[in-house]
Each structure stands twice: as structure tokens, then as C-alpha cells.
Chains A and B, each alone.
Chain A
Amino acid sequence: MSSLVLCSTCRRHVRLGATTCPFCSASITSGEPGGGDRSLATRGLSRARMYARYAAIATGVAACGGSSSETSSTDAAGDAATDTAASDTGAATDSRGDASGDGSVADAGADTPDTVSDAPPDTPCCPPYGCVFPDTACGGDLV
């Protein structure tokens, strides 16, 4: 969950809970992550749904072997299970397994750093670099 919301006046991101925008001094009335316009904010979800599909395929990765990997098949299955929980509500989840929605990570032991909230984006949306994938992630229903 983002700690920022969008100021509807100047379109700058401001901290969740702020009552006044530090950039334009407008009062912040919406507490919705990303601002009040969900039609834009949900554009990334189609990619999440697509990934859910691929994660389901990846569940069958045992067929690929992974000859020298120590990865257990439960890891991939866990990924698929949580990713499939992606929904139109914006509550897309990822492979962290925090589908509970409270941001907590199950099984976080004493060795877990206190930065565990610094997790991957809820909705994976863009490779670090590489090639843009032809899906519907950001432009509506492309390709």
C-alpha cells in the first residue's frame, strides 16, 4: 500500500494523512492512494491479471525440471495462489504472500529486517528496463 496520495489541485504526490498539500497549500480531502481517479490507477491491473495467468502456468514449472535448482515446487505454487488473488479492486497481491491485505508477511521471523514493508510493487508494472510488453497495462486495451 502506498504511503502517498495525489493532490487533486497540483497533481503532486503528498503523504497519506496530510491535510494540506506542501506544494500548493490546497487542502487534501481524498485519502485514496494515487488520488481519486481510480480509472487511471487501475490501468496496471490487466498486467497483474495476465501475470496471474502466467503464474498459474509457472505452477507447472515442475515440467521444466530446474535440474540444479533447490527450489521447491511449493514456492511456485505459493506464487500462483497469491497472484491469482489479483482483482479489479486494486488489491492485487504478489509473490510476497501478504494476501491478507494488512501488509504483514506471514512467517516473518526475528531475522526479518524492519524494512519488510519495503516490498516489491503491489502491481508489477514495468521491467527495470528491457522491452515494453504488448499488453493492456497502461494504454487501455492495446494489442
Chain B
Amino acid sequence: MSDSSNTGPLSPDERRAILDAPRPRRSLPLAARPVASRVQLPLADESRAVDRTMRPIYAVWELTLACDLACRHCGSRAGVARDDELTTSEARDLVRQMAALGVREVALIGGEVYLHPGWTEVVAEIRRCGMQSTMVTGGRGMTPEVAAEARRAGVQSIAVSIDGLEETHDRLRALDGSHAAALTALRNCRAAGLPVALNTQVNRLNLGELEAVADVLFEVGAHGWQVQLTVPAGRAADEPAVILQPYDLLELFPRLAALKERCDRGRIKMMAGNNVGYYGPYEHLLRSYCHDRHGDSCSAGRSGLGIEANGDIKGCPSLPTAKWVGGNVRANTLERIWERSQPLRHMRDRTRDELWGYCAECYYGDDCKGGCTWMATSLFDRPGNNPYCHHRALEMQARGKRERVVRVEEAPGLSFDCARWDLVVEDLPAKAEK
């Protein structure tokens, strides 16, 4: 078992204060009902060669915003279903459009997938159309019966979110017993014959517990582990003390590298998510699964497709709704939205000129283009400058500096919304300080 006394970047007192902090009123699940967006931007008259040659490979689909949890770091502020979610019939039609467009893997997320009345029919249609089917769950309602339904429908892998040890997980998920429920879900899925994986968001509360989360991988026989940073969007933007600071990556990355080696030895596939980067001394290890052993720039609208439960189409499921929805499948076909909407075209058309701040002068700018668009836009309302970068933190450190983000304006309280943040460059503190 791993040492669970490590408190990561926080002192024990700081950590206790955050654990005990009451939930911000703004982040309560009933505070803001999701609004129907149904964005209908004009589409271009014609598609271009680049729009026809680039095709979505991965689709991540919020099947419903209804959720049986209301996590304090949830980017979509899930809990209540959207007013205008796709019916099962509409969802199955969208599955067929995805397959025709070339999508090969569909990851269903929520909310909670099993709260959509037709979720097993959607899964079955995904498989019937020859695509791979996975899903992500918080696990609260993943009973043996639901797990068996998933298996029968054709789900090929289920990822259960585990965000730390019990106290940390329950605090982040805002429900006592949610950690125990997630572990039970893992066992129920295994008993049903489903391959299981873990998903973990890394933040200041759980950075010191990642090794203990890795223990769970081995205990439950998981085949994979995807690790992402908690992005300051949605409810996570309401709790700035929980979000990692950019300089915390200096502590995080050696730990991730050690965990990757441990997972490799245990034949568990650990994947650094697309906001874990970039190009530092562990890139080749953390992205050993990639052809060139390094990440690519943001894949939204290039190989990635994101879908909101009402049929709104984005390049990445987490991008802020207002600026990044290209259209809705009730008004246009998926193909037309993919090929002709400006938000979907954005990553196909951009150049290095989009970079700003430190990223504009970065050695890796041509390849990286600022990394995760969700992270950059959640901080600064535009892509192209991302302080959550290991290479950048190391360069700052070499100059005796570090970067810190400071929230200067709260998020309005809507699904996938963002706060406003300032970026402070300051001298590194003396070694002993945190």
C-alpha cells in the first residue's frame, strides 16, 4: 500500500481548511438550471478540402446532464437534465450520422449515462454501427443490474471516477459514501464481465494521494487509468483553492512519471489526458502510447468531437458552450456542422499567430500551440496561452520565477462556464516554503 500521509502542495492545516470549507452557494446543483443553448450560427456555404479530409475519430457525448451526484468540481454543473435533451430516437440517428462520418469510438459521459431512458439502445446502436463503445460513471447507481445491462448492450469498457482517498473523494463529490459507491461500482462491473478503468482529476486536494489511487487500480483489476488536471471551469471555478497552481506541476510530473512506470510494470495502461503536458522531460514516458511519444496540439474539431445532450456539437465536449458550439443536429446534419461551422473549423485553420503570452515565444509553440484549449479558454477566455505546462514551469523555475493564477471574477453559474483569472509571475519562494 502507498503512503497516504502525503498532503501534496498543501500543508496539513491548509488541506484541512479546504476539506472543511462549506460548498459555495453558487455551486449548489439547484442554483442554476442548465439553459438550452441550441446555437444556430450560420454555416459556410461550402466545405473545403481540409474540412472533408479531417474526420472525427473520437466522440465524447454527454448523453444527459441528469446526475445522481453534484460534484464540487464538475465542469458541466451536472445534476438536472437539460430541458431539450435528445430523445432516444434522435440519439440513435445521431449515432448513425457519427458512424457515416467516420467516428470510431464513442465515449458516453454525463451527467450519468444510465439516467438517460434510452442509454442501452444508444449503446447497442453504437456497436451495431461498428464503433467502439465506452462510458464514464461516478458509480453511485452502478448496481449489479445496471452493470449487467451495460454488458448486454455492448459497452466495452467502463471508467469509474476515483478522485483520491475516501475523505477527499467524498468531499470533491459532495456526498459521504460516494467513494465506497465507486468501489462497489468497479466490483459490480467486474462481476458483470466488463473491463474497468479509472479516471482521476488531479487537484490540490488529491495530488498527494495519487499513489493510493493507483493502489485501487491493482486491487480491482483495472486495465487503464486516465489522469487529467481539474480545469477551473463550471463548479471547479467556484473553488479556486482546490485548483492546482501552475508551479504545482513541478511536484506532480515526477510523481506521474513514477506512477506510469509502476503501471507499465503492472500492465495497466496509464494515459495522461490532453491537459497534462507538455514536452517536459517526462513527455516521452507519459505519452509512450503515441506514435512519436509526444502529444499533438488540441484535437478539437480535427479528430475530436464533443456533443452536448441537446445535440449541440463542439470539437471537444468541455469547451464553453457559448463560443464553441458549431450547431445543433436538430437544425443541421452532423456532417454540415463538422465541415462548415466556424467553431469546428477553428483548430483546422489556426496558425502560430494565435499564441500569446509565454506560449508565443515557446520553443514548442509550432507543435503544441498552447496545449489544451479548454484549459486556456477556462482561464483567459481565449486559446493560445496555457500556464499549466511542465516545460513552462521548468523554464520559469530556471529563471527563479513561477506563475500563479488568481481568480478575479466569479463564473456566472452555468454549465461549462468560466471565471476570469489573472496570471501572476512572481519570484520563487525560498525552498522550505510552499
Contacts and interface: CB of A to CB of B under 8 A. Distances in A.
A97 B210 CA distance: 41
B264 interface: yes
Sorting the interface of chain B by its residue count into under 10, 10 to 19, 20 to 34 or 35 or more gives 35 or more
Given A34-B291, A64-B96, A120 B299 contact: yes
B50 A12 contact: no
Contacts of A98: 53
Interface string B52-72: 111101101000000000000
A28 to B, nearest CB: 14
B297 interface: yes
A3 B55 contact: no
Nearest to A123: B291
Nearest to B336: A70
Listed residue (A12, A79, A137) with the most chain B CB atoms within 10 angstroms of its CB: A12
Contacts of B53: 95-98, 105-107, 119
Contacts, number: 278
A120 B302 contact: yes
Given A11-B284, A13-B364, A124-B57, A68 B291 contact: no
B91 to A, nearest CB: 13
A117 B300 CA distance: 15
A51 B57 CA distance: 9
A121 B298 CA distance: 10
* Best-surrounded residue of A111, A115, A120 (most CB of chain B within 10 A): A120
A103 interface: no
A140 B224 CA distance: 13
Nearest to A59: B130
- Give the dominant DSSP class at A's interface: loop
B105 A127 contact: yes
Contacts of A116: 50
B129 A61 contact: yes
A70 to B, nearest CB: 5
Interface stretch (B31-39, B80-88, B151-159, B236-244): B151-159
B97 A33 contact: no
Interface string A31-74: 00111000011111101000100110110110011111111010
Given A112-B48, A134-B224, A138-B289, A64 B104 contact: no
B206 interface: no
A69 B130 contact: no
A13 B130 contact: no
Given A66-B100, A71-B335, A13 B299 contact: no
A132 B267 CA distance: 13
30 contacts: A4-B294, A13-B294, A33-B291, A34-B293, A43-B288, A45-B291, A51-B104, A58-B102, A66-B96, A67-B93, A71-B333, A75-B55, A94-B303, A96-B54, A105-B50, A111-B46, A111-B49, A118-B348, A120-B296, A120-B303, A128-B60, A128-B273, A129-B199, A130-B109, A131-B157, A132-B134, A132-B157, A133-B156, A137-B289, A138-B289
Interface of B: 46, 48-50, 52-55, 57-58, 60, 93, 95-97, 99-102, 104-105, 107, 109, 125, 128-132, 134-136, 156-159, 195, 197, 199, 223-226, 228, 263-264, 267-271, 273-274, 279-281, 283-285, 287-294, 296-297, 299-300, 302-304, 306, 316-318, 333-336, 347-351, 363-364, 366-367, 369
